[in-house]
């Protein structure tokens, strides 16, 4: 077990953002969470998956909704977890973040710290995801375990005792999100200690802290981070057109860029459903989910959330290979369905082949 200090937490925010593929919430909100945790002197304890007792109850925690509508009320998030614990009739041992993101991961860290329990060095996706059932521990499409969901103030709450399949979780929660101000909290049971050693994507919080440290210390942070993640610099350019629309619990974004430097005379187009799902360079597929497409500032290498990008921004678009679980047939099947629902018909091609 390790207690995370201020530098660890800020590095976690910045590092997790690199894996959020344009989504995962605004890191500014994540940094605000860190500031408040430090003010309240709430210790953040990070444990290895192997430290969880075999039969310990763990809860996956997420903020679900449109990235343009991000907000966070710690007391309401804690109330959501508490209601699930009371329903289960057993103490929750630790929290597992549902995904990686500059805000979303910190929301899970925050609720664990305020609840006085540790957060596990793992998450459900190894990246940010546009739909809730895109969790590696829901990959077999089996019925979900119990979930408590709440609106941003925890004034409206609902227990989902069980669903027939994992995609039903997404359908139910997304309807509530659209009706409850485009964002909700979700605390989900279903993992026990021995499962958390294999089912989530492991050691992702410590990896994110390492990325944040590189961003802060490296002479050439982009080069260092691409080496650390086996990533690729896909495009550098200036944003020429942005279209955003928030509806049905998602923020839909289309971005167009004109290339500079080595990409002069080329154009890039990207499409996002909360997260960036596909990129085309000069009309040809350049990257597609589940591989991670992330935008960073050309000047600072800081992450740029898709919904915050405006015309005139100068960005570098990077690509990071997806965690191995998503490249298995069962993982690609889930992503293919998500892409089709997003109007994207391209078949998955690993980014390392497209980047040649």
- For 33-99, give the DSSP string: HHHHHHHHT--EEEE-GGGS-TT-EEEEEEEEE-GGG----HHHHHHHHHHHHHHHTS-EEEEEESS
pTM summary value: 0.95
Round to whole Å and give the CA distance between 303 and 320.
14
Burial class (CB in 10 A: 0-12, 13-18, 19+), 196: buried
Give the DSSP H/E element, type plus range, for residue 27: helix 27-40
DSSP letter at 303?
A: B
Q: Which domains can be identified in the chain, with CATH numbers?
A: 2-204 (3.40.1610.10), 228-354 (2.40.390.10)
Question: What does the pLDDT read at residue 313?
Answer: 98
If phi over 0 gives left and psi between -120 and 50 gives alpha, with beta otherwise, what is residue 278? beta
If phi over 0 gives left and psi between -120 and 50 gives alpha, with beta otherwise, what is residue 19? alpha
Q: What sections of 116-257 are H helices per DSSP?
A: 166-179, 204-217, 221-229
Question: What does the pLDDT read at residue 284?
Answer: 97
User: What is the residue-level pLDDT of the chain in tens, covering all 356 positions?
Assistant: 999 999 999 999 999 999 999 999 899 999 999 999 999 999 999 999 999 999 999 999 998 876 656 678 899 999 999 999 999 999 999 999 999 999 999 999 999 999 999 999 999 999 999 998 899 988 865 546 789 999 888 899 999 888 777 788 888 888 888 788 778 899 999 899 999 999 999 999 999 999 999 999 999 999 999 999 999 999 999 999 999 998 877 889 999 999 999 999 999 999 999 999 999 999 999 999 999 999 999 999 999 999 999 999 999 999 999 999 999 999 999 999 999 999 999 999 999 999 87
């Amino acid at each position: 077990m390790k207690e995370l200090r201020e530098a660890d937490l800020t590095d976690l925010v910045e590092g997790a953002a690199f894996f959020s593929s344009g989504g995962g919430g605004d890191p500014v909100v994540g940094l605000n969470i860190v500031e408040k945790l430090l003010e309240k002197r709430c210790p953040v304890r990070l444990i290895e998956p192997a430290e969880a007792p075999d039969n310990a109850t763990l809860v996956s925690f997420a903020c679900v909704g449109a990235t343009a509508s991000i907000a966070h009320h710690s007391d309401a998030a804690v109330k959501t977890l508490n209601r699930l614990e009371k329903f289960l009739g057993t103490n929750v041992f630790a929290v597992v973040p549902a995904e990686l993101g500059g805000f979303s991961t910190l929301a899970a860290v925050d609720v664990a710290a305020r609840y006085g329990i540790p957060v596990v060095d793992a998450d459900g996706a190894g990246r940010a995801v546009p739909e809730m059932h895109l969790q590696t521990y829901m990959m077999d499409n089996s019925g979900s375990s119990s979930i408590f969901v709440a609106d941003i103030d925890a004034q409206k709450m609902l227990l989902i005792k069980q669903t027939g399949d994992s995609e039903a979780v997404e359908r139910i929660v997304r309807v509530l999100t659209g009706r409850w101000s485009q964002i909700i909290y979700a605390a989900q049971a279903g993992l026990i200690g021995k499962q958390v050693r294999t089912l989530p994507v492991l050691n992702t919080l410590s990896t994110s802290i390492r990325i944040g440290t590189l961003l802060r210390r490296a002479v050439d942070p982009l080069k260092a981070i691409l080496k650390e993640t086996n990533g690729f610099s896909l495009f550098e350019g200036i944003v020429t057109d942005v279209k955003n629309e928030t509806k049905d619990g998602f923020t839909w974004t289309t971005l167009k860029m004109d290339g500079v430097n080595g990409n002069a005379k080329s154009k890039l187009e990207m499409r996002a459903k909360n997260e960036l799902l596909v990129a085309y360079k000069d009309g040809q597929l350049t990257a597609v989910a589940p591989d991670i497409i992330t935008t960073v500032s050309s000047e600072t290498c800081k992450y740029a959330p898709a919904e915050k990008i405006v015309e005139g921004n100068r960005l570098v678009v990077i690509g990071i290979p997806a965690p191995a679980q998503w490249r298995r047939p069962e993982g690609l099947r889930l992503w293919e369905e998500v892409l089709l629902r997003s109007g994207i018909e391209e078949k998955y091609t690993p980014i390392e082949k497209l980047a040649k």
